[in-house]
Amino acid sequence: MVKAVVAGASGGIGQTEIYQDMPRADNGDKQPLSLLLKLSPLVDELALYDVVNTPGVATDLSHISSTAKVSGYLPKDDGGKAAFKDADIIVIPAGIPRKPGMTRDDLFKINAGIVKGLIELAADVAPNAFILVISNPVNSTVPIAAETLKAKGVFNPKKLFGVTTLDIVRAETFVAEIAGKKTGSELTIPVIGGHSGETIVPLFSKASSGITIPDDKYDALVNRVQFGGDEVVKAKDGAGSATLSMAFAGFRFAEKVLKAAKGEKGLVEPSFVYLPGVPGGEEIKEATGLDFFSAPVELGPNGVEKVTNPLTGITDKEKALVDVAIKGLKDNIEKGITFANTPA
């Protein structure tokens, strides 16, 4: 029996909450990530947790005739504990999204505390769960999660993932457009580093099907992958950031984690992980000087089976991008660690 939890289940990756002056669609019945998990035969029980609207979202989803049994929880009456209890996988898209003009780091002030609180909850009642952090800034919220789990004595680095799949999905989509290829299994492109601006590094030289990017298109393509999130924020014009594509990406990653947990082999996806705690991580730590980095992760029954060093055999242009990414990541990671270890 697999229990999945979505924390932040009524949000824009479910499109509802209204934050201060941010005009959002008030339609709490749409939760694409929860919908995808509800439809998945890999999930038996789906618990939806949020500070608003989960009873409605859960009741609506519960009428769908797929396997998963759905329940909704609010913070009152220890709802968080009930939602998280004995979960196998916890996906966290809780927190505020960007408005035009903001960086992901601008979300730190609010989202850092939200993520810390949710991880404490997970540590207390679901210490063995796979934890997938979507909340931004991922480069800092994942270190916060790691430090919080360490402080609680239950940190298993093989089970903590920063979800960077949307960057890979974008790279695949944008390259397919240029190369006239089909997206999907025909084309996979590793995107490594972190999840914000110049910390996002697409490795087109390592594309699965020998893609060559014309020189005159390379810089613009890299820029589009690095700033794909901004493209959506701008287009939504104050109504939030990527939600539907994120739900697709979050589900793609969660599904791989669950399939690997059931024994399926050969499932690889880059993710932002704690290098010293995962097989293969030390080599990347040595090359980057960082404790956290998004690199291709081979998934297994217990989470990270191993990470592959993506930095070998890359082009000079890619090396230059990695150098810039490392600088940004260092600050983001330190900021998260400092926050997690500073008494409230």
Kindly list the residues in this chain that would bind ligand NAD in the complex (CB under 6 A): 7-8, 10-13, 16-17, 19, 49-52, 93-98, 107, 111, 114, 117-118, 134-136, 138, 163, 166, 195, 240-243, 246
Return d(Cα 155, Cα 26) in angstroms, integer: 37
**Residues of span 170-229 touching ligand LMR by CB under 6 A:** 229
Long-range pairs, 309-314, Cβ under 8 A, ≥24: 309/280, 309/283, 309/284, 310/190, 310/192, 310/203, 310/206, 310/270, 310/284, 311/192, 311/284, 311/287, 313/205, 313/206, 314/203, 314/205, 314/206
Residue 184, Cβ density class (10 Å: 0-12 exposed, 13-18 middle, ≥19 buried): exposed
| Of the candidate residues 30, 38, 104, 116, the single one contacting ligand LMR (CB under 6 A) | 104
Shortest Cβ 190–ligand LMR spacing (Å): 17
Residue nearer to ligand NAD on the CB measure, 11 or 328: 11
Select the residue whose beta carbon is closest to ligand LMR and give its number: 229
Q: Are 34 and 46 in contact (CB under 8 A)?
A: yes
Residue nearer to ligand LMR on the CB measure, 229 or 300: 229
Q: Are 176 and 183 in contact (CB under 8 A)?
A: yes
169 binds ligand LMR (CB under 6 A): no
Decide if 63 is catalytic. no
Q: Which two tokens stand for residue 148?
A: 């919080």
Return d(Cα 133, Cα 68) in angstroms, integer: 22
232 binds ligand LMR (CB under 6 A): yes
Which residue, among 299, 261, 48, has the nearest Cα to 161 in the 3D structure?
A: 299
| Of the candidate residues 165, 226, 241, 288, the single one contacting ligand LMR (CB under 6 A) | 241
Residue nearer to ligand NAD on the CB measure, 50 or 309: 50
**Residues of span 115-134 touching ligand LMR by CB under 6 A:** none
Single-letter residue type at 309: N
x/- binding map, residues 68-97, to ligand LMR, per CB under 6 A?
Answer: -----------------------------x
# residues near ligand LMR by CB under 6 A: 10
Q: Which two tokens stand for residue 120?
A: 């404490």
| Residue of 195, 206, 236, 335 marked catalytic | 195
Residue nearer to ligand LMR on the CB measure, 225 or 311: 225
Question: Which residues, including other chains, have CB under 8 Å from residue 323's CB and lie 6 or more apart?
Answer: none
Mind telling me the catalytic residues?
195
